[in-house]
Amino acid sequence: MASHRKWSPTGTRIAGIRTPALATAALTSVALLSQTANAAPSADSKPSIEEVEKKVDDLYHQAEAATEKYNATREKTAQQRKRVDSLLDDVAQRTEKLNTARDELGSFAAAQYRTGASAPDTATLLLADNPQDYFDQTQLMSRLTSRQKVAVDDYITEQAATTKKRAEASQSLQTLTTTQSALRTSKADVQRKLAEARDLLSKLTADEKARLAAIEKKKQEAADRKAAELAQQQAAAEKKAQEAAARQQTTTGTTGTTGSSATDSSYTAKADKALAFARAQVGKPYVWGATGPGSYDCSGLTQAAWKTAGVDLPRTTWDQVNVGTTVPLSDIKPGDLVFFYDDISHVGLYVGNGMMIHAPKPGAYVREESIFYGGESIIHSVVRPA
């Protein structure tokens, strides 16, 4: 905190008044200090490489979360469009039936008129808001033949059903319009985050880019070490389990396949199919909202991989995390889904030895990478989908 003591320059004073030379020097110093305080930030105030890296990572994370929101909205839009199309088809069919019923009513009304029978005003009938009230008021129903009564009933039924379906179609169209607006907003949000990240990276000098690459390399090396540690822990646990099983077999003399082993075998067979598919996608670009075959986003890749094994996963990470059984990280097996971040905005397919195949982020390609690529703290959960 700055001192509040009054500054007292040294120098000659005459009758308590500072000499002009000293006064001028003091004023000059104050002016220079003021200019320095108001000057533009120096080069030292530029964000550090570490800060730029964190900002870019945060933006990519936000973009991925927005991508999952986009995926969810797009899926909802597709469902609503199907419903609207179905309702409009139904309305068209009912309208045709209504027209047929109206024509038949007009025919028998005209026939009654030609025979001199008391007939209703056909135009009034067909334009009536409530045909049932009209028929009741004219007491016509008691004079109609069975065939004519059927025609009247058909007309009344179809008019009510058509009116209802038209209302449903109108409401569904309104809902679809709202969802499409949300879809455009989600898309714009993704594009905005990605543009901001690209802008930050574009401003780095060659030296800064080299330093950023060195930071990324150190992170990758640390992630690989963590993956190796997990692999060693799992190998030790597996060996211990096998030894325990062998001791039990020696003691009891029992052999054969247990129910648990049969379940594991079934899961392994499915997981192998999913992993084979995922490995074949390595090198393809990450494209947000993509589900293959030329490109993928993270949840699009896991969905496509498990589909080859006969398991239908939902479209988004937020839904995929709820399908299957959650298992501890220590019990993770090849084929399991690994979810990341508190908002569950990223997912990868575990391949074993602490590694996974995933579609990382925009600008990157489907690749095999340590599940600790961003540190253990960002791992949200592990789910066995089948």
Active site residues: 298, 346, 358
Question: Per the structure block, which two tokens stand in for 248?
Answer: 């039990």
HSE-CB for 271 with a 13 A CA cutoff: 22
Do the Cβ atoms of 289 and 297 come closer than 8 Å?
yes
Q: Which residues contact 194 (CB under 8 A, 6 or more apart)?
A: 59, 60, 63, 288, 362
How far apart CA 156 and CA 194 sit, in angstroms, is 57
How far apart CA 291 and CA 67 sit, in angstroms, is 12
Do the Cβ atoms of 304 and 292 come closer than 8 Å?
yes
Question: Per the structure block, which two tokens stand in for 70?
Answer: 């986009």
Peptide bond into 9 cis (omega under 30): no
CA angle 177, 182, 185 (to 5 degrees): 130
Considering Cα of 220, then 224, then 225, then 227, what sign does the dihedral take? Answer: positive
Q: Which residues contact 97 (CB under 8 A, 6 or more apart)?
A: 154, 158, 162
Question: Per the structure block, which two tokens stand in for 304?
Answer: 């496509």
Do the Cβ atoms of 177 and 80 come closer than 8 Å?
no
Do the Cβ atoms of 371 and 355 come closer than 8 Å?
yes
